[in-house]
Structure 1
Amino acid sequence: MEALINYLLQFGNLNTTQIDLIKSKVVLTQIKKDEYFHEAGKIPREIIFITEGIMRICYYNNKGDEITKYFMDENHFLADIISYNQEIPSTEYVQAVTDCSYFVLSKSAMRDLSMTIIEWDNIIAKITAKGLADKVNKISPMMTEDAKERYLSFLEKFPTLANRVPLSYLASYLGITQSSLSRIRRNIR
């Protein structure tokens, strides 16, 4: 719970009463490795804050290939924000790469916090803006890099993820085959 509160406090001020209210609205939940937190075609009704583990966001392209869009690990919020806000079905899957623990904020909890805590919407807007900027900053450089550069960039930006994520997911994220990734890894050791 402390990690969630500390994260929120980076984006705005909350007093003790407000913090207690937030604590009363979140629910700690767990999911096992390989289970899906969310599936495409469904409307997201929750926002989560990962406290332990890694989740991946993926989709299927028009050829039926599974593509890993990105990974989220500890101390990050996760939501398909467009589908959540517009209440439309998501096109993405969210799958646990490892066993995960996370706090759930339901749509009604978010509404209650918004109506009770004056600064809440501003805090959430700042978190959303940071999340979108982080996503752009992760994806944009990958467009101009070759496979080896993408892998080295991944290692630099996410040093703790490389050994926690299956090679097939990492290869998909990098836009290369698993055998190419294995060859790259062998050549840089």
Structure 2
Amino acid sequence: MEELFNFLLQFGQLNQQQMELIRDHVFEKTIKKEDYFSQAGRVPREIGFMRSGIMRVCYFNNKGEEITKYFMEERNMIVDIFNFEAKTASTEYVQAVTDCEMIIFTYDVLQMLSATIVDWDRILGKIRERALLSKVNRISPMVSEDATTRYTMFMEKYPGMVNRIPLSYLASYLGITQSSLSRIRKQLSGSNSRAGYP
């Protein structure tokens, strides 16, 4: 639970009593690898703080192909905020890439916290702002970049994620085939070893 409070305190002040109130009303949940946290066609009912693991946001295009929009790792809030607040059906899926440990806020709990904790709406507003900015930065890189550049940019930006994500998901995110991604990885590891890297 400490990870959650460390996260929340980046956005505003909470006293001991308020933290206890939050602690008493949230619950922990494990989402197994490949299970869904939320699904397209359903109204999202929960906001999750990720204690550990990686999730991906994906959708199906008009050809029926599954497209990965972005990945989220631990110490982030995950929710389809627009549909959550409007109580409308989501158009995207949120799926666990690895086993994920979550701390869950339900809609009713958030309403109660909003009515009880003076600063709560401001804290949530700041989290929402950061999440939107983060979402824009995480969305699949520009197709104008070549595939190798897209992959190296991803490795530089998210070094801790590369070896935890299945190749099929990463290829979908980068907008290339899995075989192209395998070829790029081989080429890069070959050039690294020639350059004297381990």
Same fold (TM over 0.5): yes
**Correspondence for 1:154:** 154
* C-alpha deviation, 1:138, in angstroms: 2.7
* C-alpha deviation, 1:136, in angstroms: 1.3
**Correspondence for 2:124:** 124
Amino acid at match of 1:56: R
1:104 equivalent to 2:104? Answer yes
CA distances 1:104-148 after superposition (whole Å, capped 9, x unpaired): 100000001100111111111101101111121233853442211
**Correspondence for 1:181:** 181
1:128 is paired with a residue of what secondary structure?
helix
Q: Distance in 2 between matches of 1:181 and 1:113?
A: 45
Amino acid at match of 1:173: Y
1:163 is paired with a residue of what secondary structure?
helix
1:134 equivalent to 2:134? Answer yes
**Correspondence for 1:63:** 63
Q: Distance in 1 between matches of 2:98 and 2:85?
A: 28
The more displaced of 138-147 and 149-158 is: 138-147
Amino acid at match of 1:179: S
> Contact 2:70/2:140 (CA < 8 Å) preserved in 1?
no
Q: Distance in 2 between matches of 1:23 and 1:77?
A: 16
2:164 is paired with a residue of what secondary structure?
coil
When the two structures are aligned, how many residues end up with a matched partner?
189
**Correspondence for 1:87:** 87
Structure number with greater Rg is: 2
CA distances 1:23-58 after superposition (whole Å, capped 9, x unpaired): 111100012111112111000011000111111111
CA distances 1:150-178 after superposition (whole Å, capped 9, x unpaired): 11111111111110000000000111111
The alignment's TM-score, normalised by the length of structure 2, stands at 0.92
Q: Distance in 2 between matches of 1:43 and 1:124?
A: 20
CA distances 1:3-25 after superposition (whole Å, capped 9, x unpaired): 00000000001111111111111
**Correspondence for 1:167:** 167
In structure 2, list runs of 5 or more residues that go unmatched: 190-198
- Evaluate the alpha carbon distance shift between residue 158 and residue 177 of structure 1 in structure 2; reply closer, same or farther with a 3 A threshold: same
Q: Distance in 1 between matches of 2:96 and 2:18?
A: 31
The alignment's TM-score, normalised by the length of structure 1, stands at 0.96
- Evaluate the alpha carbon distance shift between residue 140 and residue 68 of structure 1 in structure 2; reply closer, same or farther with a 3 A threshold: closer
Taking only the aligned residue pairs, the percentage that are identical comes to 56
Q: Distance in 2 between matches of 1:97 and 1:140?
A: 17
Q: Distance in 2 between matches of 1:97 and 1:41?
A: 21
